[in-house]
A and B are shown apart, each in its own frame.
Chain A
């Protein structure tokens, strides 16, 4: 089970945004972070807890291992407004966090 928080977040352009994901058992570093915009499939931003996917802006970052993970946007941009999900693939069934809906203050 993945517990993601907060469930929603309002922030201003330029703010640092932090989302956390806690797992009920260790997933080692087999945790991904996705961005989803309305009507679109999720887009992988961070793989294996901290690896930035090719083409993803460097303002996105991830850290953590075992049961506690953090996703960060260092300086929020308007195009970052979306819902963000964590996902573990260490154990089956694959599971996702409940999502964090990010909007502009």
Chain B
């Protein structure tokens, strides 16, 4: 059974770079789309972007200038970097498999990142 787990600092200072990693267990990164999403406190869900297992990326235009995603096939992990953060970037960040194609997506449990 595939499971995803987000990890990274719970607090980031304004203007710095938020860095998160999603570890995939029970399956390989190969063959799938790997997404990052976020949910601000009391708000709805926002898709940040995805990285395909080949390394190609697509980002939400609203965040594109600040986002970088990467993956490491050897460790079965993929990562998110969001630069120049502000308080508006405070949110629960989720990683998820799939989402952009037919098939049941798999979500991580989410991790809260506070910018302060």
Min CB–CB distance A23 → chain B (angstroms): 15
- Write out the residue numbers on chain B whose beta carbons fall within 8 Å of the beta carbon of A97: 44
- Which of B22-30, B83-91, B107-115 is found at the contact surface with chain A? B107-115
Chain A interface extent, by class:
20 to 34
- Write out the residue numbers on chain B whose beta carbons fall within 8 Å of the beta carbon of A54: 104
Contact B107 A89 (CB under 8 A): no
Residues of B within 8 A of A (CB-CB), count: 22
B residues engaging A (CB < 8 A)?
35, 44-47, 49, 58, 60-62, 94, 99-105, 107-110
Could you write out 29 A-B pairs with CB less than 8 Å apart? A30-B102, A40-B109, A41-B94, A41-B107, A41-B108, A42-B45, A44-B104, A44-B105, A47-B103, A54-B104, A85-B45, A87-B99, A89-B100, A89-B101, A92-B58, A92-B100, A93-B60, A93-B61, A94-B47, A94-B99, A94-B100, A95-B47, A96-B44, A96-B45, A96-B46, A96-B47, A97-B44, A98-B44, A99-B44
A residues engaging B (CB < 8 A)?
30, 40-42, 44, 47-48, 53-54, 85, 87, 89, 92-99
